[in-house]
């Protein structure tokens, strides 16, 4: 086919679907993997946003009612047991109360030892809750760092294939080279499309998890101070 014929049949605008199906099988595999990763990234972004919004709202309501409660044991038995699976602060309180009951069950109470154990148990509970919230963020970080390189691999492979086509057809005109290069570059574009939202979401969600962890730590410290005063009166 002549160069003029190739130019006449060339597309006048970018068609991503055609670029995908016209690409080499290796480049298609790279694109498919990146598209799946991108869909997964957006699923995590949407689900995590909804989850964090719900947790923040319920945590605020729980902590407000907690400090108003006259009997913490009764409040936790009624409210904390029901919402322990949804509110991280409720699980921190459960861990603290559990250690409190164990440490104060003896006839002779070791006040300093009890304070240290309470602090250790609640700090551990706060860290565990933060880890639980952030467990799905690793995928965002992985996609954000790896996807551009995977797309670049597809691009390099596609360009190598384009040069091979030049050699086999013995024609180095732009009409011969351009389609293959555009297909190859499309792989990098998909890699960036997957990576950019992943990086933005990872940074944003990490900040929100850190904020919630700091809030739980402040709540834990305040609860520890309340239990410490109870020890002084015991």
Domain ranges of the chain: 24-233
- For 25-49, letters b (16+ CB in 10 Å) and e give eebbebbebbeebbeebeebbeebe
Least trusted range by pLDDT, from 64-78, 118-132, 139-153: 64-78
Of the pLDDT bands very low, low, confident and very high (cuts 50, 70, 90), residue 172 is: low
Of 186, 200, 182, nearest in space to 143 by CA: 200
Residue 188 pLDDT > 80: yes
Q: ∠183-190-147 over CA atoms, to 5°?
A: 120
pLDDT at 194: 93
Per-residue pLDDT at 86: 77
What is the b/e burial string over 178-207, where b = at least 16 CB atoms within 10 angstroms of the residue's CB?
ebbbbbbbbbbbbbebbbebbbebbeebee
**Spatial separation of the C-alpha atoms in residues 152 and 148, rounded to whole Å:** 6
Asked if the model's pLDDT at residue 179 lies above 50, the reply is: yes
Q: Of 80, 93, 87, give the one whose Cα is nearest residue 60.
A: 87
- Give the pLDDT score at 104: 82
Q: Is the pLDDT of residue 38 over 90?
A: yes
The average confidence (pLDDT) of the chain is 84
Indicate the pLDDT class of residue 34, thresholds 50, 70 and 90: very high
Residue 221 pLDDT > 90: yes
Q: What is the mean pLDDT of residues 176-186?
A: 74
Q: Which residue has the higher pLDDT, 219 or 15?
A: 219
d(CA 116, CA 60): 27
Q: Which one has a higher pLDDT value, 19 or 191?
A: 191
């Amino acid at each position: 086919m002549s160069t003029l014929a190739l130019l006449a049949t060339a597309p006048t605008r970018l068609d991503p679907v055609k670029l995908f199906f016209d690409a080499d099988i290796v480049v298609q595999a790279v694109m498919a993997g990146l598209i799946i990763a991108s869909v997964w990234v957006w699923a995590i972004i949407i689900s995590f946003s909804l989850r964090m919004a719900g947790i923040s709202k319920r945590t605020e309501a729980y902590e407000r009612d907690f400090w108003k409660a006259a009997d913490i044991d009764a409040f936790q038995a009624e409210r904390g047991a029901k919402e322990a699976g949804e509110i991280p602060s409720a699980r921190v309180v459960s861990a603290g109360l559990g250690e409190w009951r164990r440490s104060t069950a003896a006839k002779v109470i070791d006040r300093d030892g009890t304070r240290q154990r309470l602090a250790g148990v609640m700090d551990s509970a706060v860290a565990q809750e933060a880890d639980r919230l952030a467990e799905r963020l690793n995928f965002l970080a992985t996609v954000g760092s790896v996807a551009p390189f995977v797309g670049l691999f597809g691009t390099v492979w596609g360009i190598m294939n384009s040069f091979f086509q030049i050699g086999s057809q013995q024609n180095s005109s732009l009409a011969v080279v351009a389609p293959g290069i555009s297909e190859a570059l499309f792989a990098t574009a998909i890699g960036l499309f997957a990576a950019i939202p992943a990086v933005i979401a990872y940074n944003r969600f990490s900040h929100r998890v850190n904020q919630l962890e700091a809030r739980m730590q402040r709540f834990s410290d305040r609860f520890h101070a309340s239990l410490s005063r109870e020890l002084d009166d015991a």
